[in-house]
């Protein structure tokens, strides 16, 4: 594993009164598709958690590279009975996560993508919340951005809202990425599994559905407990594919009987188009960026006032492409330097 984390700073958590005498089983689901160069770090970061009572389910989703061979090598070398490998024909990320849920035995289920990593005390830190607050069903954390080799970039994905309600989540995915969540099994028993029609935005739709269909709440840990890897494939982000899946996700939320207002859904829909427009802009695809941003503004004009990056993206369309990276760096630096919340929101 490329990145380690000291646990001494969190010694105070050992005194959490809600810790059970016998630790409950936590299942960590790792969907694996063409992640041969990265999956060993992911699996080992799960097995090396300070929380010992866990199982790791690596779902090999019809990978075209050496992912399965690497998984078998890890299993052979470590001889760790907590690791199970499940292979299936390629069916996509949602299906791989669903297979992992069905195979899992734990009362709590975490999700780690095959190219990301967890810090050693992530399960400990998030289970402290789940065991002390039965009303919380979804826990998440901040994320460190890693480069493709697994080295920290110095940037952190840190959400300021650590107790997002349903309306907050519809407007924006406050969990950050698919590798931050540890959830109660009841979430999926009551709200269903990941929608296999979605090939992007699937985690966003799932978390919104859980908050809408259950009485369970979400709570985050204001620390970077997840390492999120930025791969070269991120540079070839398919803006229109993302937008199409956002359209489908919002349509599913609209027709799901969740009681969400049209204005709220339009605000969330617009945010997805803004994200696609920003990525297109940074890739130098100006015409795509303009078209996507125009759709965001049509859906929810107020986004210009409520979201800094919308205004920044519109401004960036007026400057030469090289200057846009500087603008992105300045915004990222501002987000990284912002003080973390001193208390939960």
d(CA 282, CA 313): 9
pLDDT score at 178: 94
pLDDT score at 23: 82
d(CA 177, CA 227): 10
pLDDT score at 329: 61
Contact 104, 55 (CB under 8 A): yes
Q: For the chain, which ranges sit under pLDDT 50?
A: 1-2, 4-20, 337-345
The tokens 């380690």 sit on which residue? 4
pLDDT score at 327: 59
DSSP state of 90: -
The tokens 């958690």 sit on which residue? 49
SS3 243: helix
- Residue 53 buriedness (CB in 10 A; 0-12 / 13-18 / 19+): middle
Contact 137, 183 (CB under 8 A): yes
Is the full-model pTM beyond 0.85?
Answer: yes
Sequence-distant (6+) residues with CB within 8 A of 104 are: 27, 29, 55, 57, 185
pLDDT score at 284: 82
Q: Domains along the chain?
A: 24-233 (3.90.550.10), 237-335 (no CATH)
d(CA 127, CA 137): 11
pLDDT digits (tens, 9 = 90+) for 229-281: 998 776 556 888 999 999 999 999 999 999 999 999 999 999 999 999 988 88
d(CA 297, CA 271): 10
Contact 159, 174 (CB under 8 A): yes
């Amino acid at each position: 594993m490329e990145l380690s984390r000291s646990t001494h700073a969190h010694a105070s958590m050992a005194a959490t009164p809600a810790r059970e005498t016998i630790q409950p089983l936590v299942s960590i689901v790792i969907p694996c598709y063409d992640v041969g160069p990265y999956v060993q770090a992911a699996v080992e970061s799960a097995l090396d958690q300070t929380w010992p009572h866990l199982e790791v389910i690596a779902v090999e989703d019809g990978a075209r590279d050496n992912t399965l061979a690497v998984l078998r090598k890890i299993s052979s070398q470590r001889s760790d009975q907590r690791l199970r490998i499940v292979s299936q024909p390629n069916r996509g990320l949602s299906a791989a996560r669903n297979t992992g849920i069905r195979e899992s035995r734990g009362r709590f289920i975490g999700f780690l993508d095959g190219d990301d990593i967890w810090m050693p005390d992530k399960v400990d830190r998030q289970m402290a919340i789940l065991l002390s607050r039965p009303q919380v069903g979804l826990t998440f954390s901040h994320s460190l951005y890693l480069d493709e080799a697994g080295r920290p970039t110095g940037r952190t994905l840190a959400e300021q809202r650590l107790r997002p309600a349903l309306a907050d989540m519809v407007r924006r995915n406050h969990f950050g990425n698919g590798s931050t969540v540890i959830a109660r099994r009841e979430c999926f028993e009551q709200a269903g599994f990941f929608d296999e029609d979605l090939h992007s935005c699937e985690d966003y739709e799932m978390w919104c559905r859980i908050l809408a269909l259950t009485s369970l709440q979400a709570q985050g840990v204001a620390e970077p407990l997840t390492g999120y890897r930025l791969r070269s494939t991120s540079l070839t982000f398919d803006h229109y594919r993302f937008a199409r899946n956002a359209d489908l996700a919002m349509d599913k939320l609209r027709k799901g009987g969740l009681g969400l207002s049209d204005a709220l859904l339009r605000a969330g829909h617009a945010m997805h188009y803004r994200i696609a427009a920003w990525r297109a802009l940074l890739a130098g695809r100006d015409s795509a960026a303009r078209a996507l941003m125009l759709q965001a503004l049509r859906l929810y004009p107020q986004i210009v006032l409520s979201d800094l990056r919308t205004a920044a993206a519109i401004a960036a369309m007026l400057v030469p492409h090289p200057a846009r990276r500087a603008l992105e760096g300045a915004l990222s630096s501002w987000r990284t330097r912002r003080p973390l919340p001193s208390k939960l929101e």
